[in-house]
Amino acid sequence: MRDVSIIGIGQTPVGEHWDKSLRELGFQALQAAMNHSGVERIDALYVGNMLSGELTGQEHLGALIADFAGLRGIEAIKVEAACSSGAAALRVGYMAVASGLHDIVACVGVEKMTDQQSDAVTSALATAADAEYEALQGLSFVSINALLMQRYMHEYGYKKEDFANFAITAHANAMNNPYAMFHTPITREQFAAAKPIADPINLLDSSPIADGAACVILAPMAIAKEFTSKPVRVRAMAIATDTLAVHDRRDPLYLEGGAISAQKAYAVANVGPSDIDLFEVHDAFTIMSALSLEAAGFAPRGQGVRLAMEGEIGLNGRIPITTMGGLKARGHPVGATGIYQIVEVVEQLREEAGANQVKNARLGMAQNIGGSGATVVTTILERL
């Protein structure tokens, strides 16, 4: 197996792109990454996407984007793993380069969600849950996460306001990210007074639906310096799964897929949680931030919220998270989110995060979660 590096990144602003199609967004991110790396031709294209068929009536995205980008003839496929589709596409690209099958690979995450009304988007997102035992009973992802949050608060004695700093930190960091959807800080008082959605989750607990696309270019480490003076090594990647339905799990408050994927990644990288300088969590809801921090070993069970309460998740904290706004404030175009996370970790490790730069960042980690934890992809990147 060959060492793999990221030699180029690209992204579009996250937002409501009513004037751009799915293929245009994917192409813009791909073009930006190719320009960034200086690559003129790629061997393969892997596209992470969750909802194109449901929301745009368009499947077959690999060939669609390859053709639109003038790359007709290359290997190109779509990869789907619910909200972890972006990182799953990266995993496929990583395996292609590491195995020697391809040398230069592009991994694009793209999603177009805002052209549909919210009830249609909610129904489409629910396809990542258990269709017979969750979605058919009327459970949406907001309500599933609300049940998890209720149980967490009951088990560990937290109050609703204890989760506030997850959202406040994300919005503060997004202020300096030109690609983020929201550039407005929020206060603890605004968090407490936000519109309820599904008790105890309110609007400011939740990431927004959005359009966007991001891309990374992969190459073997042996030739990476031919394209960039600052390649970032993919130190480890791991995917693990759990049940789709939360009620089928051994413990609903334990992201077993997250824990397994994190432990596998740590083992491959020969590091532990204390070695990680920043962690891009999948903060689709504030409760997921807490559960992900615990699953990845940054906090004991029931103590993930305490990291937020004690200010340990800020840019100067013990484990900085959502360093460019996260899903909450950068936005959550679901199939693209995993690639946005990787782009943001690369920016940190290349020391190109501007005012949000985490000092002396050498190892960065991202965890991209599909569904309510049924598929979890953990990636560790290293500055060389």
Q: What CATH number does the domain containing 280 carry? A: 3.40.47.10
Q: Are residues 200 and 213 in the same domain?
A: no
What pLDDT is attached to residue 285? 98
For the sheet containing 278-280, what is the strand order? 75-79, 44-48, 105-111, 212-220, 4-11, 232-241, 375-383, 363-370, 278-280
**Rounded-to-integer distance, Cα 302 and Cα 281, Å:** 17
Instruction: Check if the beta carbon of residue 319 is closer than 8 Å to that of residue 279.
Output: yes
Q: Are residues 64 and 188 in the same domain?
A: no
The string of pLDDT tens digits covering residues 259-317 is 999 999 999 999 999 999 999 999 999 999 999 999 999 999 999 999 999 999 999 99
81: amino acid identity, one letter: A
Reported confidence tier of residue 45, pLDDT bands at 50, 70, 90: very high
**Rounded-to-integer distance, Cα 200 and Cα 122, Å:** 18
Q: Are residues 374 and 307 in the same domain?
A: yes
Q: Is residue 23 part of a domain?
A: yes
Range of the domain at 46: 4-117+209-224
Reported confidence tier of residue 237, pLDDT bands at 50, 70, 90: very high
The string of pLDDT tens digits covering residues 330-348 is 999 999 999 999 999 999 9
The string of pLDDT tens digits covering residues 209-236 is 999 999 999 999 999 999 999 999 999 9
Q: Are residues 357 and 264 in the same domain?
A: yes
Q: Is residue 266 part of a domain?
A: yes
Mean pLDDT of 43-49: 98
Phi then psi dihedrals of residue 134, to 5 deg: -125, -65
Per-residue burial over 350-379, b if 16 or more Cβ lie within 10 Å, else e, is: beebeebbbeebebbbbbbbbbbbbbbbbb
The string of pLDDT tens digits covering residues 134-179 is 999 999 999 999 999 999 999 999 999 999 999 999 999 999 999 9
**Rounded-to-integer distance, Cα 58 and Cα 19, Å:** 17
Number of domains present in the structure of the chain? 2
What pLDDT is attached to residue 95? 98
Mean pLDDT of 194-219: 97
Q: Are residues 33 and 172 in the same domain?
A: no
Q: Are residues 182 and 265 in the same domain?
A: yes
Q: Is residue 169 part of a domain?
A: yes
- Where does a domain end: 224, 255, 279? 224
Question: What is the secondary structure of 69-101 as a DSSP string?
Answer: TT-TTSEEEEE-BTBTHHHHHHHHHHHHHHTTS
* Longest pairwise C-alpha distance within the chain: 57
* Averaged pLDDT of the chain: 97
**Rounded-to-integer distance, Cα 107 and Cα 372, Å:** 24
Q: Is residue 338 part of a domain?
A: yes
Mean pLDDT of 71-77: 97
Structure tokens of 346? 């690369």
What pLDDT is attached to residue 4? 98
Q: Are residues 8 and 55 in the same domain?
A: yes
Q: Is residue 128 part of a domain?
A: no
Q: Are residues 43 and 169 in the same domain?
A: no
Q: Are residues 89 and 196 in the same domain?
A: no
The string of pLDDT tens digits covering residues 355-382 is 999 999 999 999 999 999 999 999 999 9
Q: Are residues 196 and 215 in the same domain?
A: no
**Rounded-to-integer distance, Cα 7 and Cα 232, Å:** 7
What pLDDT is attached to residue 220? 98
Q: Is residue 62 part of a domain?
A: yes
Q: What amino acid positions are annotated as catalytic residues? A: 83, 332
Q: Is residue 172 part of a domain?
A: yes
Give all strands (DSSP E) within the chain, no chain letters.
4-11, 44-48, 75-79, 105-111, 196-198, 201-202, 212-220, 232-241, 278-280, 363-370, 375-383
Mean pLDDT of 103-122: 96
Residue 11, beta-bridge partner list: 214
* Residue pointed to by tokens 């990210």: 177
Q: Is residue 343 part of a domain?
A: yes
Percent of the chain past pLDDT 70, that is, above it, reads 100
Instruction: Check if the beta carbon of residue 380 is closer than 8 Å to that of residue 235.
Output: yes
Q: Are residues 173 and 311 in the same domain?
A: yes
**Rounded-to-integer distance, Cα 186 and Cα 172, Å:** 8
Q: Are residues 304 and 269 in the same domain?
A: yes
Sequence-distant (≥ 6) Cβ neighbours of residue 31 within 8 angstroms: 10, 69
Whether the bond between 300 and the residue before it is cis, its omega within 30 degrees of 0, is no
